[in-house]
């Protein structure tokens, strides 16, 4: 789509990587929303009247043939609408304005993380709340935490499954039942409640009740008798089915994470669920801005240690020069004006109160100044040899079988070279140049030899300047001052190297002949 509309070519791997990153930041935003304190309710905004909450889980496949349960909670509003298909017209109960929250975690963790969505939908401020769930214990604990006074309703299809299993167990035990027994029992359960069915089950013999296929289902129905008062629930306008969360399992979770041949890494499930929640809740723009803000804030805070920490081997001139690159405390933040006080880089009391000492080393060309704090160079590269960090403070990666590195990149190497050259040239004092003598074409060869002897007697400017700067011949370059690597196997009494490269030799030659 991007290629057709904008002409931008994005590879599949790039799209996957960016999707996982933004999904992870959305997951972080959801987690922070669950940890935030509840906002103050406005008096002019009326509280919602009816809220319906339903929780359930769906299974997805991970790598290495593992199956895990993704828990989902659906929140909506109960609305009664007339059903035109029935005569006379009756009121049907529907749930509108749905929102979802899904997460791969344990029951206790999921209950805590769902706090953000529960606060956003104002479940705690609602006048009446009902929780339509199955018989799982964690679903009842979920409703108990957020609304202990909520109306608990057992999902009617789950109750029908246990009634059907109970009748099947009676048939296997040898009891003859009518053909329409299941439909009649479900009709009685929906319109008259569970009391008539439990009375009928009490007439069974004690030997029959102790059988495994009958006893467990009958105990399940007896334990949840208060949750199956369906006639009373329908009169108050509450739904008796958890279709809202069952459809959420298919729409939010299974439509994207349970396709044919899909096996997910555990770390990639929650970022994808965060993206699915943003899409299905129609909050994509809002969640995208929150995720982008979190990413930019983290990128900004990760650069603060580089701004604060300075290498111990740096001189005072470099610290003063780097200090000018730090932003002022009153300068606006990179993210937004509202977060300027929160994200502004800290300035120590020493830097704000200590006077600035102006020296000749601080007035350097603009190209030699460090535009980023933590990127200034040391005065000599030999002091940093054998360490695990570059002159800029970055780590050096050592490879087996290779010589140790001095710099992390070519830019640091070039800046170190310019710093050494500028340090040498500042210590040098210019000497008066010897005026060149022109050789006449008609000069005798003997006169030319005498002229060359006179030129040899004149001291070389580069050598004198470098020796005044403290250099030692044979160990450092006579032009740039870099260390010289002497070749092994040099003959005794032979000639030593004077320059580090042919470029320095050519520059020295041009300066002598200028």
pLDDT of residue 469: 42
> 21 to each of 16, 24, 179, 292, 502, how far by Cα in Å?
9, 5, 58, 10, 50
Q: Residue 103: helix, strand or coil by DSSP?
A: strand
In a domain, 250, yes or no: yes
Nearest-angstrom CA–CA distance, 359 and 349:
22
419 within a domain of the structure (yes/no): yes
Sorted by sequence, the CB contacts under 8 Å of residue 62 that are 6+ apart come out as 68, 263, 264, 265, 266, 269
- Judge whether 295 lies within some domain: no
Q: Are residues 173 and 150 in the same domain?
A: no
514 residues of the chain, pLDDT tens digit each: 667 777 788 888 888 898 999 999 999 999 998 888 877 766 656 778 889 999 999 999 999 989 999 999 999 998 887 766 665 556 788 888 999 999 999 999 999 999 999 999 999 989 999 999 988 899 999 999 999 999 999 999 999 999 999 988 888 888 888 888 999 999 999 999 999 998 888 887 777 777 777 888 888 999 999 999 999 998 888 999 999 999 999 999 999 999 889 999 999 999 999 999 999 999 999 999 999 998 898 888 887 655 555 444 444 444 444 433 333 333 333 333 333 333 333 333 333 333 333 343 433 444 444 444 444 433 344 344 445 778 777 788 767 667 777 788 888 888 888 888 877 776 664 544 444 444 444 455 556 666 656 555 544 444 444 444 444 445 778 888 777 766 554 445 556 778 888 888 888 888 888 7
128 and 62 in one domain? yes
Cβ atoms < 10 Å from Cβ of 404: 11
- 70 plus 26 within the same structural domain: yes
Assess whether 70 and 148 both reside in one domain: yes
Total of domains in the chain: 4
- Shared-domain flag, residues 136 and 275: yes
Within a domain: 337:
no
C-alpha distance from residue 491 to each of 422, 488, 499, 502 (Å): 35, 9, 18, 22
104 domain residue, yes or no: yes
How deeply is 50 buried, as exposed, middle or buried, from its count of CB atoms within 10 A (0-12, 13-18, 19+)?
middle
> β-strand 66-83 against 151-154: which pairing, if any?
unpaired
In a domain, residue 129? The reply is: yes
Among 319, 314, 320, CA closest to 358: 320
Which DSSP helix (H) or strand (E) runs through 461?
A: helix 461-468
Q: Of 230, 253, 268, which marks where a domain is finished?
A: 230
pLDDT for 370 = 40
Whether 437 maps to a domain, the answer reads: no
Which residues form the domain of 410? 304-325+343-361+370-394+404-427
The first and second tokens of residue 441, run together, are 């074409």
Whether residues 349 and 216 fall in one domain: no
Domain contains 199: yes
Measure the CA–CA gap between 110 and 72, rounded to whole angstroms.
9
Residues 75 and 186 in one domain: no
Say if residue 139 is in the same domain as residue 209. no
DSSP label at residue 6: T
Same domain flag for 120 and 204:
no
Quick one: 258 and 142 in the same domain? yes
- Same-domain pairing of 380 and 274: no
Q: Of 142, 131, 144, which is closest to residue 103 (Cα–Cα)?
A: 142
Same domain for 189 and 320, yes or no, is: no
């Amino acid at each position: 789509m991007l290629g057709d509309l904008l002409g931008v070519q994005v590879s599949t791997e790039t799209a996957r990587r960016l999707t996982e990153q933004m999904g992870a930041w959305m997951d972080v935003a959801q987690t922070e929303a669950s940890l935030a304190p509840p906002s103050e309710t406005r008096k002019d905004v009326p509280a919602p009247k009816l809220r319906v909450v339903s929780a359930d889980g769906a299974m997805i496949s991970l790598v290495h043939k593992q199956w895990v349960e993704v828990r989902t909670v659906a929140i909506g509003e109960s609305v009664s609408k007339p059903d035109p298909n029935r005569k006379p017209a009756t009121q049907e109960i529907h749930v509108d304005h749905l929102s979802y929250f899904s997460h791969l975690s344990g029951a206790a963790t999921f209950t805590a993380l769902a706090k953000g969505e529960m606060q956003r939908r104002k479940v705690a401020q609602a006048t009446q709340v009902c929780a339509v769930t199955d018989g799982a214990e964690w679903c009842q604990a979920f409703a108990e935490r957020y609304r202990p006074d909520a109306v608990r309703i057992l999902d009617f299809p789950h109750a029908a499954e246990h009634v059907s299993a109970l009748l099947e167990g009676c048939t296997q035990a040898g009891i003859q039942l009518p053909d329409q027994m299941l439909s009649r029992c479900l009709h009685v359960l929906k319109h008259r409640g569970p009391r008539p069915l439990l009375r009928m089950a009490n007439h069974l013999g004690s030997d029959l009740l102790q059988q495994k296929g009958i006893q467990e289902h009958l105990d399940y129905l007896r334990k949840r008798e208060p949750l199956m008062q369906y006639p009373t629930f329908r009169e108050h306008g509450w739904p008796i089915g958890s279709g809202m969360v069952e459809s959420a399992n298919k729409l939010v979770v299974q439509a994207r994470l349970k396709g044919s041949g899909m096996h997910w890494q555990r770390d990639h499930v929650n970022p994808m669920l965060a993206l699915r929640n943003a899409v299905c809740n129609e909050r994509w723009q809002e969640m995208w801005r929150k995720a982008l803000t979190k990413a930019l804030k983290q990128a900004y805070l990760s650069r603060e240690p580089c701004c604060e920490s300075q290498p111990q081997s740096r001189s005072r001139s470099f610290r003063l020069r780097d200090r000018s690159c730090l932003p002022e405390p009153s300068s606006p933040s990179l993210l937004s004006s509202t977060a300027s006080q929160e994200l502004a880089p800290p300035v120590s009391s020493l830097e704000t109160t200590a006077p600035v000492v102006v020296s000749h080393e601080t007035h350097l060309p603009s190209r030699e100044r460090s535009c980023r704090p933590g990127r200034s160079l040391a005065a000599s590269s030999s002091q940093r040899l054998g360490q695990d960090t570059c002159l800029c403070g970055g780590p050096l990666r050592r490879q087996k079988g290779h010589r140790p590195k001095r710099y992390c990149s070519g830019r640091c190497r070039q800046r170190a070279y310019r710093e050494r050259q500028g340090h040498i040239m500042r210590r040098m004092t210019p000497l008066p140049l010897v005026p060149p003598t022109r050789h006449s074409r008609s000069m005798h060869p003997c006169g030319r030899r005498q002229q060359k002897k006179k030129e040899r007697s004149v001291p070389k400017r580069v050598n004198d300047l470098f020796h005044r700067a403290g250099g030692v011949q044979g160990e450092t370059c006579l032009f740039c001052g870099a260390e010289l690597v002497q070749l092994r196997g040099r003959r005794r009494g032979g000639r030593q190297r004077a320059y580090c490269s042919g470029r320095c030799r050519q520059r020295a030659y041009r300066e002598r002949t200028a």
